[in-house]
Amino acid sequence: MKKLCAAALMAAIAAPAAAEEIKIGYALAEDSHYGVAAKAFEESLTAALGDQFTFRHFPSSGLGGEREVVEGVQLGTIQMTIVSTGTLSNFVPESGVFDVPFLFDSLDHARKVLDGEIGQEMLAKFDDAGMHALAWGEQGFRHITNNRGPIAAPEDTEGLKIRTMENPVHITAFEALGAAPTPMAWPEVIGALQQGAIDGQENPLSVIVSAKLSEVQTYLTLDGHVYSPAVILISPQLWGGLDDEQKAAFETATKDAVTAMRAYVDEVETSGVATLKEQGMEVNELTAEQKAAFRDALADPYKQYEEQFGKELMDRIRASQ
């Protein structure tokens, strides 16, 4: 009996620990910038830690809309997600500052802010909301698509039924422009556009291309009204259970994921417009003077944003060139 017990004990010691499964969910398709980042994360982590972790990817809202996935990360039923700040402003209201219209001048400006002191200060706030933020990712600058007509001036948005994220910063801006913003979870958008329940939506080229919105939208206006970051989140249960070596590997994998995501955005910013034109979309781009007219129309919302987020913070962001 003692020999049998000893043999069983030795077998248990020799047996490798079972790999821990990581469920990672995101709203867009597997070949989107989210999917590319998730795959880069998995490959980097596997290269560093071998088979300690396995991944199950749930693209295209396979685990629900962004709000449901974020709540799953808080509960620990979903281990990771890549998610837009549109939903996260409901969990970490301060993060909504990055969604203020025309706050960033370029991708380089936005990346410098998010990778720097301001961005890191904001990431730290997610722990208090029951989730751990690993890094800022990116979607790019948001543009408007619709089926009603080209948009060249603020009055062209009057009465436009436009899908927005559940983001009060975006909603306030579109209301000031006279549009009819309609908050809607992403999985519902394509059907609503097909049925005419909404006229249009707004998203970066990375989403417009990967979601094949050219199949349900006629007009694309390149206005770049808002820079759209993303965040890579991990459940506090998973993060808290990692040792120092594992955490270092997760952080390296996150950097690789962000690099892959930004490379995707850079590529689609170059090629996306031509692709959408080939697919039949009519495209117009706002001039500097036209953008100035939109900024002027948002004078009242800007006052609200400065009260909500702090003029000092917004000035710091503008000055971080």
Secondary structure (DSSP) of 101-124: TT--SSHHHHHHHHHSHHHHHHHH
pLDDT, one tens digit for every residue, the chain (321 residues): 555 455 444 544 444 568 999 999 999 999 999 999 999 999 999 999 999 999 999 999 999 999 999 999 999 999 999 999 878 988 999 999 999 999 999 999 999 999 999 999 999 999 999 999 999 999 999 999 999 999 999 999 999 999 998 889 999 999 999 999 999 989 999 999 999 999 999 999 999 998 999 999 999 999 999 999 999 999 999 999 999 999 999 999 999 999 999 999 999 999 999 999 999 999 999 999 999 999 999 999 999 999 999 999 999 999 997
pLDDT of residue 205: 95
Query: Exposed e or buried b for every residue in 282-309, given b needs 16+ CB within 10 A?
Result: eeeebeeebbeebeebbeebbebbeebb
Span 18-319 CATH architecture: 3-Layer(aba) Sandwich (3.40)
The predicted structure's pLDDT at residue 18: 80
Helices (H) and strands (E) counted in the chain, each on its own, are: 14, 9
Q: What is the pLDDT of residue 8?
A: 47
Q: What is the pLDDT of residue 81?
A: 98
Query: Which among 200, 203, 219 is positioned nearest to 160, based on CA atoms?
Result: 200
pLDDT at 11: 44
Torsion angle defined by CA atoms of residues 91, 125, 201 and 39, in that order, rounded to the nearest 10 degrees: -110
Beta strands in 19-123, from DSSP E residues, in sequence order = 20-25, 53-58, 80-84
Host H or E run for residue 200: strand 200-204
Predicted local confidence at residue 234, as pLDDT: 98
Using an 8 Å Cβ cutoff, are 138 and 262 in contact? Answer: yes
Per-domain residue ranges for the chain?
18-319
Mutual angle of helices 117-124 and 107-115, in 10-degree steps: 60
pLDDT score, position 166: 85
